[in-house]
Homo-oligomer: A and B are copies of this chain.
Amino acid sequence: MKVTIYDIAKEAGVSIATVSKVINRGGRISEKTRNKVIKIMDELNYQPSVVASALTGKQTYTLGLLLPDLANPFFAEIARSIEDRAQEMGFNVVICSTDNSLDKEERYISLLKQKSVDGIIIATGVRNDALLKELVRQKLPVALIARDMPAVAVDIVLVDDFQGGYLATSYLIQNGHKQIAVIAEDTEVMSSKERIRGYRHALEEAGIPFNPELVRISDFSVKSGKIAAGELLQGLKACTAVFACNDLLAIGTIQAAREMKLSIPDDLSVVGFDNTILATIVDPPLTTIAQPIQDMGAQVVNMILRHINGGHTMNQRMVLPPELVIRSSVSRPRK
């Protein structure tokens, strides 16, 4: 059988309370007994049961992570960065791909609660703040990453989406483009809204009139990006550049362009968003707006741990700057 605290206590000739104290480095214990206990512990290869300790009100050292789809490189990278930091802090993370389905979100959250995770990090769209608010009400530590949700009081880490949209668009403008389209994944989502707002701001600043025909909505996948871009390019020969609100969509538009025998960047410039591994792999390499994924991941777990340990600190909102990564998918428009 598994070795328990009783085995250690008996073997060491002390009480379980003593053993518990040396485990938790609490209470006053003589060097002597402490050493003896420690010795026995690793002689017997003892590993305290987190389950038992959790039952007495301690932590489970487990975090839940809700995201739309682990197979999406952006979220895989986010997950990895979170996992890394969590691991450093002695936490594990359980992954929950929701496919943006409210149903799955609910089921996962319910499961996570039953398992008494110490906190939940959310990277999903969470359409209805109701779910979220409920979590907050129940005092379950929650933190959002890469998703805004102004109406709810939780910790948040995200990139400055407005700034990102602005950077992307400005860069295109600097390169001489005037007919610039946007493809966004969904206008419901705050980040899309903000990126588009940044886009419009750049346009405005440059005195370029905003043309609603040039903004397209799709969901997020290469395929739908391709479709959206196809429609766009079909209708408007005039457009010389597109700002795709994520790399997947950017790649879709590259593919659509290629199918229409448009060369990139000569016939069409495109800039993406996220700077996932995909951006380095497409041809041409994608100029894109980088999110500081490593940093964001580390920060959310810092935040949520602070919340878990420290109690109710104020809800933080950390907005990190995006960065333009120039590769080869943008050039000056053809005359």
Contact = CB atoms under 8 A, between A and B. Distances in A.
Interface of A: 47-52, 54-55, 60-62, 69-71, 73, 76-77, 79-80, 83-84, 87, 90, 92-97, 104, 107-108, 110-116, 222, 251, 258, 277-278, 280-283
B277 A73 contact: yes
Contact of A51 (B60, B108, B251): B60
Nearest to A113: B47
A55 to B, nearest CB: 5
A108 B258 CA distance: 45
A222 B60 CA distance: 38
A263 to B, nearest CB: 12
A283 B282 contact: yes
B116 A97 contact: no
Contacts of A95: 79, 83, 93-95
A77 B70 CA distance: 7
B114 A47 contact: yes
A92 B94 contact: yes
Contact of A80 (B60, B70, B77): B70
A47 B114 CA distance: 6
B62 A70 contact: no
29 contacts: A47-B110, A49-B55, A49-B114, A50-B114, A50-B115, A51-B51, A51-B55, A51-B115, A52-B55, A62-B94, A70-B70, A70-B80, A71-B80, A71-B277, A73-B73, A76-B76, A79-B95, A80-B97, A87-B104, A87-B107, A92-B94, A92-B112, A93-B94, A222-B277, A258-B283, A277-B278, A281-B282, A282-B282, A282-B283
